[in-house]
Amino acid sequence: MQVEPKKVKKPSKRHQPSGMTILFEDDDIIVVDKVSGLLSMSNAKTRDRTAYFALNNYVRKGNAKSRKRIYIVHRLDRDTSGVLVFAKSEQNKRYLQDEWTNFSKKYYAVIHGNMDEKQGVLSSYLAENVIHKMYSTDDPKVGKLAKTGYKVIKESSRFSLVEIDLLTGRKNQIRVQFADIGHPVAGDNVYGTKEKGIKRLTLHAGSINIKHPHSKEKMTFEAEIPHYFQALINR
């Protein structure tokens, strides 16, 4: 069920968050469509050029003394675009995180080549090496089970656009599993191959279904597939 956003008083343009579009906001949560290239949260090198920092400034309306803040529920990789959910209280954050595995998430990706099986489930155990890169293993004692449902929705001679159901939520699982079967995500310089002419990682969090932490109403949030994905398929 698509729920209309509750009207909130918007701050001045000076405090509007850059690098994202607000899809929904009420007193309990804020949901955005994040652009590729923007960190969800800070790391050792970057503190202020993140979705988290920008949204904190947004809810505080630029007032550093304000007690208002947002709480990180989940994250997207820097180069992955799409739906990102934040909470406005610790209690709401805990509720959403506790229920996270019960929420359905749909992604879209452009992958190299054409798949023989146009629909199916990728399954493997994922582990992390000493340089924090994920890899697949057959040993359940070493890795954690990762399952990714997929369906090819459009093809060209070089690329395929796939719709992905994230059945588990392991780090980089989509990128690792498609690379494992010889169809890496286009623009993936870590698990795929560097290729000139591809502007970005073509992975997008297209939609998420959640249960609202206060009303317990089921809600669906969607972020349109980037036009660049279609342009790449049409090359």
Amino acid residing at 169: G
Which tokens belong to 27?
Answer: 């007193």
* Helix (H) or strand (E) segment spanning residue 211: strand 203-211
Alpha helices in 19-132 (DSSP H): 51-60, 90-99
Number of H helices, E strands in the chain: 4, 11
How many residues appear in the chain? Answer: 235
Rounded to whole angstroms, what are the CA distances from 85 to 26, 29, 70, 126, 167? 12, 7, 10, 25, 18
Known catalytic residue: 77? yes
Of the residues 77, 98, 138, 165, only one is catalytic, namely: 77
The Cα–Cα gap between 146 and 192 comes to: 19
Which tokens belong to 52?
Answer: 């988290």
- Catalytic residue set: 77
